[in-house]
Amino acid sequence: MPFPSLQIGNLTAKVPVIQGGMGVGISLSGLASAVANQGGIGVIAGAMIGMKEPDVAKNPLEANLRALRNEIIKARELSNGIIGVNVMVALTTFSQMVRTAIENKADIIFSGAGLPLEMPRHLLQLCEEKKEEFKTKLVPIVSSARAATVIAKKWLSRFNYLPDAFVVEGPKAGGHLGFKPEEIQDPAHALEVLVPQVVDAVKPFEDQYGRAVPVIAAGGVYTGADIKRFLDLGAAGVQMGTRFVATHECDADERFKQSYLAAKQEDVTIIRSPVGMPGRALCNDFISAAREGLKKPFKCIFHCVSTCQQEKTPYCIAQALINAMRGNLERGFAFCGANVFRVNKIITVGELMDSLQHEFDEAMNSLSKSVQNVQSILGYGNKAEQTL
């Protein structure tokens, strides 16, 4: 059977799969448009998106805003599907990036790495300033039911705006994680636990305002069977990152993708990121050197993340991720999800979507057979009782 569609406001994705926004430069217009063309939701990552602009060191704000505009325009030229943008709250340019995404008609803004408590303000101000109705959907990324409740209450009280959806990201996700290091392996914080909690937290708001607020499961979702499992737990869709890196359309350098193919389970590690959050990455010589104190504090030129303490941190996270995206993993590292070691080949986005559908169908058929078996057993039991 086909995937159920994912409805976010007046947007309908035929496939309930959101491609995670992966910075720096891993998911740009190429990957996002390919996912959108397959019926999913493609996402452009806003973090240091202006890395290829010639003036990024001298004028990082304008370089990043210009690059974001250009990537949205490119994605629109390549697809008529749903295109989103991921903008981290921790970015020093958060407000300007959000406004730029809205002005350029991004369908959705996903925002995490902090609580995006002020995001609706930018949408409402633009509508007033431009005398135009902007329809960009606003979707916070959270790691707990409490965070979802806090955001919903703040948005409603300040802006009379109910979040259009929530992404709940569990501790198996790649990149920066919204958990304390000791919580990452704690079963109480597993995505299977978090999803029903967020669904329950959102329900009173849905009932009060008479509209759906879809909950999207993220972090460790790898197969079509996983998609079914989280839909059964109440999620309306899933967000996936790692598997989309291993596609031909991914915007990263081929050497970055090959690092995923070569990854073993023991290569996956949790780092202490300069931005003040734990992060999941592939361990390499660069990370080992940082841990051994062989990297020294640096002069910051980007000022990209508000929580980064350049005088204390041993390396520039932006520069390390830019190097990695370009394939220079000797001077950087690759963020990854917990299931990266399962990646064994590079395929097209279309092939990935087909395989997810096939796995989903198999899981549905397996369930159907199990139900039939139970019914058959119960039927025989009734006949036996009648004979007695």
Last residue of a domain, one of 335, 353, 383: 335
pLDDT at 276: 79
Domain count of the chain?
A: 2
Same domain, 361 and 307: no
Answer whether residue 375 is part of any domain. Answer: no
Same domain, 237 and 282: no
pLDDT at 369: 65
pLDDT at 90: 82
Same domain, 318 and 201: no
Same domain, 186 and 293: no
Answer whether residue 51 is part of any domain. Answer: yes
pLDDT at 335: 95
Same domain, 295 and 149: no
Answer whether residue 382 is part of any domain. Answer: no
Same domain, 270 and 240: no
Answer whether residue 385 is part of any domain. Answer: no
Answer whether residue 166 is part of any domain. Answer: yes
Answer whether residue 142 is part of any domain. Answer: yes
pLDDT at 386: 45
Answer whether residue 377 is part of any domain. Answer: no
Answer whether residue 383 is part of any domain. Answer: no
Half-sphere exposure of 363 (CA within 13 A, CB side): 18
Say if residues 253 and 325 touch (Cβ distance below 8 Å).
Answer: yes
Same domain, 328 and 356: no
Q: pLDDT means per 10 residues in the chain (388 residues)? A: 95 98 95 98 94 90 95 98 95 91 97 93 94 95 98 98 98 94 95 98 97 98 98 98 98 96 97 86 93 66 56 72 91 96 97 98 81 62 45
pLDDT at 387: 42
Same domain, 165 and 220: yes
Same domain, 360 and 311: no
Same domain, 103 and 15: yes
Say if residues 177 and 220 touch (Cβ distance below 8 Å).
Answer: no
Same domain, 271 and 129: no
- Here the CATH number for the domain that contains residue 207 is 3.20.20.70
Contacts of 379 (CB under 8 A, 6+ apart): none
Same domain, 184 and 212: yes
Domain containing residue 131:
6-252+344-366
pLDDT at 384: 43
